[in-house]
C-alpha cells in the first residue's frame, strides 16, 4: 500500500517494514544504541507520518493493555471480600503511559522482562493482601527478605488457599504479551522511554519525599502500589539516613550485684501471641489457656498484663527484648553491647543460656554472642536441628529438664510457637488438639488450638522453675502481636506501622515480692522497661539520659528506625495511651 507519506510499507505480524528505519523496528531486529536514540527522538516526527488508522490501532491496543493490567484487580475483588477496586481517576496518568509504552516497545525481551517484573510484584501483592488484609509495603518486602525461611514455610503450607492468584495474574499478563506481538502495527523506542519515565516518576517521588509516600495507598490500583513498594524497598536499603545523635547510656552496679546464688532469672520470648485469644486475658469464645488460668488462681506470685513490644518483627523486637534500648533509631547503641543482658549477666557472675527453636540469625540481632555460655538454635548443630525439627518447642522443655541449674543462671528461652502456619506448630509427642472447630475462618480455630498447645508449654516451664526454694524470676512475653482480623488485618509481618501489632501479653512469676510489685506498678509495660527490670535483678541499673517521661516507641520491621516507628505517650492518671502518627525516615 501507499500511505500519505508516499513511502511504500507493508504490514507484517510484527510491525511495519519500510524504507525509513525511523518508522520500522521489526521484532527481533538488532538495534545499536545510536539507532535506538534516533528512534526515540525522531518518534514525534514519525507519529506525524503514520496514518490515522495506525494511530487508532495503537490507542486501541493501549486501551486493551490497560484493561488487562486492571483485570487481576477486578477478579481479586470478586474473590476477596475486603478488597475494593480503586476508583481513583488519577490512575489514568499512570496506566496511559505504561500501557502505551508496552504497546510501542520494540524489543520482545524488554517487553517480556517488564511484564515478568510487574507480574511477580502483582502476585506478591495479592498474596500479601489475601493473607494480611492490607497492601504490600516496602517494609513488608524488607521483612520478607530478613525472614525468608518463614516466608517459604508459610507459602508451602498456604499455597492451596492462594493458588488461584498465579493464573489470575499470569493469564492477563500473558495475553498482553501476545496481543502486543501479534497485532501491533507500530513500534518505537519511545515505548521504552515511556516505561522508564513511568517507573522513574514513582522512584523520584519517593526519593524527594520519602515519608508517608512509602506506604501503600488503598485508593490506588494495586499495580501502582506494587511498584511503589518495589522502589521504596530499594530506597530504604540504600538511601543515606541521617540518624539522630543521642547521649551515651551508662550502667551502674547496684546492691544485687554481690548477691550469691543459686538464682534463676528466666526470660521466655514467645512468638506471635495475641492476648485477645488467651482466655487468661478474658477471651470468651474458647478456653485457650486453662493451665495459665489455673496458675493465676492458685498462686499469689503470678502477674499478667498487656504490654507493648519494641517492634513488629521478631528480629527487630529481640534487639529491644535482650538489650535495654529506648530510642527507635539509636544506631550507635544498637551497635554497642553496654546494655546487653547477656553481657551484664556474665559481668555479675551468671551462667548464660540462649535456648531457641528459631534460627541462629536471631543471634545477630541479640549481639554479644561471646557472652552466651550455652547457645542452642535450630541450626546450631545437626543433632539439635533434628530434635527441634521434630519436637519443636517441646525440645525447650526437654533441654531445661536435663539441666542442673545451680548458682546464678540467666536463661533466655525463645519459642517458635505460635508462628504461622498454626496447624504445624505442634511438636512430635504432643497430640495435636482439635478442640476448637466450626469457625467460618478456619485460621482462627487453628490459632486457638495452637494457643492451647502454647499454654501447656508455658505452664510446664513455669512449673519447672517455680518449684525452687531459691530466688527465681520468670518473665514471659511475646516478641510481637499477631493480628487475627482486627480491623480486617492478619499476621504481623505486613510492614504496617499499626499500634495493635505492638500489644503483647506479659506474664511474670517470682518468689520476690519486691520484683512483682515493680512489675505490677508499671502500666502498659514496654520491652524496654522489662529489660531494665531484669538488668536490675542481674545487678545493674541502666541509666539513659535520653528518656522522656512516659514517652516510648515501637518500631516497624527494623530496630534502627529505617522502617519507621510510632511514638506513644502513657497517661498514667487515666490509664490510656496516645499514639502519634507513624514516623518514617
Convert the pLDDT of each residue in 529-579 to its tens digit.
999 999 999 999 999 999 999 999 999 888 878 778 999 999 999 999 999
Decide which of 131 and 120 is more confident. Answer: 120
- At residue 585, the pLDDT reads 59
Q: What is the pLDDT of residues 38-58, one digit of tens each?
A: 444 444 444 445 677 788 888
Q: What is the CATH number of the domain that holds 314?
A: 3.40.720.10
In-domain check, residue 263: yes
State the DSSP H helix or E strand holding residue 265, giving kind and residue range, or none if neither: strand 263-270
In this predicted structure, the answer to whether residue 474 has a pLDDT above a threshold of 50 is: yes
In-domain check, residue 492: yes
Question: Are 269 and 177 members of one domain?
Answer: no
- Identify the CA nearest to 389 among candidates 338, 435, 428, 415: 428
In-domain check, residue 4: no
Torsion of CA 583, 359, 506, 151, to 10 degrees: 60
Q: What is the pLDDT of residues 346-402, one digit of tens each?
A: 999 999 999 999 988 788 788 777 789 998 988 777 888 899 989 999 999 999 998
In-domain check, residue 352: yes
Question: Are 226 and 262 members of one domain?
Answer: no
Question: Are 189 and 310 members of one domain?
Answer: no
Q: Find residue 308's DSSP bridge partners.
A: 503, 526
Q: Find residue 374's DSSP bridge partners.
A: 353
- Identify the CA nearest to 95 among candidates 198, 235, 207, 248: 198
End-to-end CA distance of the chain: 60
In-domain check, residue 244: no
- At residue 27, the pLDDT reads 38
Kindly state the average pLDDT of the residues 115-138. Answer: 84
- Identify the CA nearest to 232 among candidates 206, 197, 201: 206
In-domain check, residue 144: yes
Kindly state the average pLDDT of the residues 409-418. Answer: 94
Q: Which domain holds residue 118?
A: 9-238
- At residue 398, the pLDDT reads 93
C-beta separation of 466 from 301 below 8 A: yes
In-domain check, residue 511: yes
Point out the domain boundary residue: 191, 217, 238: 238
Please count the helices (runs of H) and the strands (runs of E) in the chain.
19, 16
Point out the domain boundary residue: 194, 218, 238: 238
What is the 3 state secondary structure string of 405-466?
Answer: CCCEEEEEEECCCCCCCHHHCCCCCCCCCCCCCCCCCHHHHHHHHHHHHHHHHHHHHHHHHC
Question: Are 408 and 492 members of one domain?
Answer: yes
- Quote the CA–CA distance of 130 and 134 in Å, as a whole number: 8
C-beta separation of 164 from 60 below 8 A: no
The mean of the pLDDT values for the chain is 83
Decide which of 244 and 496 is more confident. Answer: 244
Question: Are 388 and 475 members of one domain?
Answer: yes
- At residue 180, the pLDDT reads 84
Residue with cell 496458675: 295
Point out the domain boundary residue: 196, 214, 238: 238
Question: Are 206 and 276 members of one domain?
Answer: no
Question: Are 231 and 328 members of one domain?
Answer: no
Question: Are 328 and 226 members of one domain?
Answer: no
- Quote the CA–CA distance of 102 and 318 in Å, as a whole number: 46
- At residue 520, the pLDDT reads 94
Least confident of 137-146, 149-158, 336-345, 468-477: 137-146
Question: Are 254 and 165 members of one domain?
Answer: no
Kindly state the average pLDDT of the residues 271-282. Answer: 95
Q: What Å distances lie between residue 10 and 24, 46, 73, 89, CA to CA? A: 11, 16, 38, 39
Decide which of 455 and 86 is more confident. Answer: 455
Question: Are 258 and 190 members of one domain?
Answer: no
Question: Are 27 and 138 members of one domain?
Answer: yes
In-domain check, residue 1: no
Best mean pLDDT range from 52-66, 155-169, 442-456: 442-456
- At residue 248, the pLDDT reads 93
Bridge-based pairing of strands 263-270 and 472-478 is: parallel
Question: Are 218 and 288 members of one domain?
Answer: no
Q: Give the total number of structural domains in the chain.
A: 2
pLDDT bucket at 25, cuts 50 / 70 / 90: very low
- At residue 144, the pLDDT reads 74
In this predicted structure, the answer to whether residue 427 has a pLDDT above a threshold of 80 is: yes
Amino acid at each position: 500500500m501507499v500511505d500519505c507519506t508516499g513511502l511504500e510499507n507493508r504490514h507484517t505480524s510484527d510491525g511495519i517494514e519500510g524504507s525509513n528505519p525511523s518508522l520500522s523496528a521489526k521484532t527481533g531486529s538488532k538495534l545499536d544504541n545510536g539507532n535506538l536514540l534516533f528512534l526515540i527522538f525522531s518518534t514525534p516526527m514519525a507519529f506525524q507520518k503514520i496514518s490515522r488508522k495506525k494511530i487508532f490501532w495503537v490507542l486501541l491496543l493501549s486501551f486493551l493493555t490497560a484493561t488487562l493490567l486492571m483485570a487481576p484487580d477486578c477478579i481479586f475483588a470478586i474473590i476477596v471480600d475486603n478488597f475494593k477496586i480503586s476508583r481513583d481517576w488519577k490512575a489514568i496518568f499512570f496506566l496511559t503511559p505504561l500501557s502505551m509504552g508496552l504497546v510501542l516497545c520494540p524489543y520482545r525481551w524488554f517487553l517480556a522482562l517488564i511484564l515478568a517484573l510487574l507480574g511477580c510484584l502483582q502476585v506478591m501483592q495479592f498474596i500479601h493482601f489475601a493473607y494480611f488484609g492490607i497492601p504490600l509495603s516496602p517494609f513488608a518486602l524488607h521483612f520478607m527478605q530478613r525472614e525468608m525461611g518463614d516466608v517459604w514455610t508459610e507459602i508451602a503450607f498456604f499455597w492451596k488457599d492462594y493458588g488461584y492468584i498465579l493464573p489470575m495474574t499470569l493469564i492477563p499478563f500473558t495475553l498482553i504479551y501476545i496481543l502486543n506481538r501479534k497485532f501491533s502495527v507500530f513500534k518505537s523506542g519511545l515505548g521504552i522511554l515511556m516505561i522508564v519515565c513511568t517507573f522513574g516518576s514513582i522512584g523520584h517521588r519517593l526519593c524527594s519525599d520519602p515519608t508517608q509516600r512509602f506506604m501503600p495507598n488503598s485508593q490506588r490500583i494495586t499495580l501502582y502500589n506494587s511498584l511503589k513498594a518495589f522502589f521504596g524497598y530499594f530506597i530504604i536499603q540504600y538511601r543515606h539516613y541521617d540518624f539522630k545523635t543521642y547521649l551515651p547510656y551508662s550502667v551502674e552496679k547496684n546492691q544485687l550485684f554481690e548477691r550469691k546464688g543459686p538464682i534463676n532469672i528466666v526470660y521466655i520470648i514467645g512468638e506471635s501471641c495475641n492476648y485477645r485469644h488467651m482466655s487468661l486475658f478474658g477471651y470468651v469464645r474458647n478456653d485457650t489457656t486453662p493451665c495459665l488460668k489455673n496458675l493465676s488462681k492458685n498462686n499469689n506470685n503470678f502477674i499478667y498484663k498487656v504490654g507493648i513490644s519494641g517492634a513488629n518483627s521478631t528480629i527487630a523486637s529481640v534487639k529491644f527484648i535482650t538489650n535495654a534500648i529506648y530510642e527507635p533509631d539509636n544506631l550507635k547503641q544498637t551497635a554497642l553491647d553496654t546494655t546487653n543482658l547477656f553481657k551484664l549477666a556474665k559481668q555479675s557472675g551468671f551462667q548464660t543460656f540462649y535456648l531457641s527453636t528459631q534460627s541462629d540469625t536471631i543471634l545477630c540481632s541479640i549481639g554479644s554472642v561471646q557472652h552466651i555460655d550455652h547457645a542452642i538454635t535450630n541450626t546450631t548443630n545437626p543433632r539439635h536441628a533434628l530434635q527441634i525439627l521434630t519436637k519443636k518447642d517441646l525440645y525447650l522443655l526437654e533441654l531445661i529438664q536435663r539441666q542442673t541449674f545451680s548458682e546464678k543462671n540467666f536463661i533466655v528461652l525463645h519459642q517458635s510457637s505460635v508462628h504461622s502456619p498454626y496447624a504445624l506448630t505442634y511438636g512430635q509427642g504432643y497430640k495435636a488438639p482439635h478442640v476448637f472447630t466450626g469457625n467460618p475462618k478456619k485460621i482462627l480455630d487453628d490459632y486457638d488450638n495452637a494457643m492451647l498447645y502454647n499454654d501447656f508449654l508455658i505452664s510446664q516451664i513455669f512449673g519447672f522453675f517455680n518449684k525452687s526454694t531459691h530466688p527465681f524470676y520468670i518473665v514471659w512475653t511475646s516478641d510481637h502481636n499477631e493480628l487475627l482480623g482486627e480491623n480486617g488485618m492478619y499476621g504481623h509481618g505486613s510492614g504496617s506501622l499499626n499500634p495493635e501489632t505492638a500489644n503483647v501479653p506479659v506474664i511474670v512469676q517470682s518468689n520476690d515480692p519486691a520484683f512483682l510489685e515493680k512489675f505490677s506498678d508499671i502500666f502498659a509495660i514496654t520491652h524496654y522497661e522489662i529489660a531494665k527490670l531484669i538488668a536490675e535483678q542481674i545487678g545493674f541499673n541502666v541509666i539513659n539520659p535520653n528518656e522522656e517521661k512516659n514517652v516510648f516507641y515501637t518500631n516497624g520491621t527494623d530496630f534502627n528506625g529505617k522502617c519507621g516507628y510510632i511514638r506513644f505517650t502513657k497517661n498514667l492518671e487515666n490509664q490510656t495511651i496516645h499514639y502519634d502518627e507513624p514516623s518514617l525516615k
